[in-house]
Structure 1
Amino acid sequence: MNELMPVLVVVFVAALAVLSVMQLALAFGAPWGSLAWGGQHRVLPGRLRVGSGVAPVLYVAFAAVVLDRAGWIDVVAEPVARVGTWVVFGFAALSVIPNALSRSRPERYVGTSVALLLAVTSLVVALGGATT
């Protein structure tokens, strides 16, 4: 599994990058609301736009923690990266539930798939630690 770790780290960060672009587009009024926040709005209302604008900040923190735990960067102490990666995994794993239960078919299929991808890749990093 250790030889797969670099690929999984790249997949994790790439998925967060795509989510960040999507969330920023939603924050600026893109008509992709069926993919996020319960899928009930074509264009998000103000309060959800704020949430979409904040989400990429959280995604950057998630990426930094996982990249640190994988040994690719060194921005936080090792115990913080170790615990932080488990927090990221927990967040991703828990996000599977609302995505899977969404009334919006696009959010159910796409959101659940992405959440599972993030959960699995962060779990592997949490279990495996540094790749370098």
Structure 2
Amino acid sequence: MPAVIAVVILALLAVFQLALAAGAPLGHYAWGGQHRVLPRNLRIGSVVSIAIYALIAAILLGLVPFAEVGRWVVFAYFVLGIVVNAISRSKPERYVMTPVVTALAVLSLLVALG
């Protein structure tokens, strides 16, 4: 169940990143919050993020050969994400994304522990 919940959250984040890549004025929630509409390089970063979310989902669901080790890597990635979002200069990013990434860290830890 934790893996499914994490995948749903990742899917919602993928939709958010797709909106950012398409030019939605939500940039204050991501990438340091310095741009309401992301510049080209950060839009590309948003597209790359979607691919990373898909890989993370596959790892959490056990759909890849390296899922056992990958789950711990995913947990570490989300713990790092907590720190990065918590120190963001953007208040919206800090207040929205830090709890989201914290939830993903907890869920990925539960998945890794089995």
Q: Does TM, scored on the shorter chain, surpass 0.5?
A: yes
User: Secondary structure of 2:44's match?
Assistant: helix
Q: What SS does the aligned partner of 2:61 have?
A: helix
Kindly report structure 1 stretches of 4+ aligned residues shifted beyond 4 Å: none
Please tell me the root mean square deviation across aligned C-alpha atoms, in Å: 0.8
- List alignment gaps of at least 5 residues for structure 2: none
Gaps of 5+ in 1: 1-5, 69-74
> What is the alpha-carbon distance in structure 1 between the residues aligned to residue 57 and residue 89 of structure 2?
29
Aligned mates of 1:15, 1:109 — CA distance in 2? 16
SS in 1 for 2:23: coil
Percent of pairs identical after alignment?
56
Deviation at 1:39, TM superposition (A): 0.5
* Structure 1 residues 23-62: Cα deviation after superposition (integer angstroms, max 9, x where no partner): 0110010000011000010000110000001111110000
Q: Please say which structure displays the higher CA radius of gyration.
A: 1
2:113 is aligned with 1:103: no
Quote the residue 2:22 is aligned against.
Answer: 28
Letter in 2 for 1:119: A
2-side partners of 1:94 and 1:10: how far apart? 22
For 1:11, which of 5, 12, 30 is the aligned residue? 5
What's the counterpart of residue 111 of structure 2? 125
Aligned AA for 1:114?
V
For residues 51-110 of structure 1, give each alpha carbon's deviation from its aligned partner in whole angstroms, at most 9, with x where no partner exists.
001111110000000001xxxxxx322xx1110000111101101111001111110011
